[in-house]
């Protein structure tokens, strides 16, 4: 059910992506997401997907990890594909005589372009989380959003909440699998075709999972209070990440690519 979720699971490897400053990786990810949203033609999106695949290879993280992270979103992508294919107006390819519903050429084109965009965005997010530890990610986000502190925004606290939420995803995934195994040992049938029984069996997972999540949150809050955590004011780091030639080269390449893209449009 939830076993495919890999967001927040840092996988240490000796790769160029792991060695890069977290700020650079966040900039690369945001650039990829913005590019995926902005680009409209199939060729452009295929090129961007190719860049994504090259980065995945350079990360040295097993490709199966990214496939598992993509797996939970397949149903969402399929639903979005069908919605766009059925309800986008245009020249009909297939007529379905049910309230004049038809599948149009424009609908199919828009549907697969949207699907490619969603896959690219998810893969960029997975690249960021698998090659960046939660502490490094917190540092990078805080440094990028640091100017907002002048406007009175509690940047450190917001980033801390986001990081904790991101870190809880794999923990909840593992917890859900343990609960499913326990329920299976008790004879619970999760593959039954009876909808009422399936909902009832699902509650047997959600209820203990929710209780355990609140228990973990309470334990974390008590641990932070016992260590006199008061926010980001005056906090320092033992190892301060520094931008290297690799980081500046990557950022320069991103700027160059955006300039070329804007000039070609």
Q: Over the stretch 126-170, which tens digit does the pLDDT of each residue have? A: 999 899 887 788 888 888 888 887 887 788 778 878 777 777 777
Average pLDDT over residues 37-66: 89
Residue 222, pLDDT > 70, answer yes
Alpha helices in the chain (DSSP H): 16-19, 22-38, 42-58, 63-70, 74-87, 105-131, 134-144, 155-185, 195-226, 245-264
At 4 the pLDDT is 44
Q: Over the stretch 52-94, which tens digit does the pLDDT of each residue have? A: 999 999 999 888 888 888 888 888 888 888 888 777 776 666 5
- With cut-offs at 50, 70 and 90, classify the pLDDT of residue 180: confident
Q: Contact, 40 vs 46, CB < 8 A?
A: no
- With cut-offs at 50, 70 and 90, classify the pLDDT of residue 238: low
- Average pLDDT over the chain, rounded to whole? 81
Distance separating alpha carbons of residues 255 and 33, to the nearest angstrom? 15
- Considering only CA atoms, which of 141, 144, 121, 126 is closest in space to residue 17? 126
Listed in sequence order, the residues at least 6 apart from 184 whose beta carbon sits closer than 8 Å to its beta carbon are 190
At 28 the pLDDT is 92
Average pLDDT over residues 4-28: 81
Q: Contact, 102 vs 94, CB < 8 A?
A: yes
Average pLDDT over residues 108-124: 90
At 94 the pLDDT is 57
- With cut-offs at 50, 70 and 90, classify the pLDDT of residue 232: low
Kindly report the pTM of this predicted structure.
Answer: 0.74
Among 96-100, 116-120, 154-158, 187-191, the range scoring the smallest mean pLDDT is: 96-100
């Amino acid at each position: 059910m939830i076993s495919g979720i890999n967001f927040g699971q840092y996988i240490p490897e000796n790769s160029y992506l792991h060695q890069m400053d977290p700020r650079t990786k966040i900039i690369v990810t945001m650039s990829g997401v913005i590019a995926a949203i902005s680009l409209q033609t199939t060729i452009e999106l295929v090129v961007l997907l190719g860049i994504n695949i090259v980065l995945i290879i350079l990360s040295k993280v097993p490709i199966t990890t990214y496939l598992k992270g993509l797996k939970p979103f397949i149903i969402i992508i399929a639903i979005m594909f069908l919605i766009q294919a059925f309800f986008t107006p245009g020249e009909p390819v297939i007529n379905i005589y049910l309230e004049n519903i038809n599948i149009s050429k424009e609908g199919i084109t828009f549907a697969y372009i949207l699907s490619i965009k969603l896959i690219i965005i998810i893969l960029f997010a997975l690249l960021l989380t698998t090659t960046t530890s939660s502490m490094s990610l917190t540092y990078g986000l805080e440094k990028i959003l640091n100017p907002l502190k002048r406007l009175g925004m509690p940047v450190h606290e917001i980033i801390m909440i986001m990081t904790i939420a991101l870190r809880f995803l794999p923990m909840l995934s593992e917890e859900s699998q343990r609960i499913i195994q326990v329920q299976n040992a008790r004879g619970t049938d999760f593959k039954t075709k009876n909808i009422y029984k399936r909902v009832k069996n699902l509650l047997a997972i959600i209820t203990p999972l929710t209780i355990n999540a609140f228990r973990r949150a309470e334990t974390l809050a008590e641990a932070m209070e016992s260590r006199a955590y008061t926010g980001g004011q005056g906090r320092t780091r033992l190892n301060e990440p520094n931008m290297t030639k690799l980081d500046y080269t990557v950022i320069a390449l991103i700027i160059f690519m955006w300039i070329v893209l804007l000039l070609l449009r």
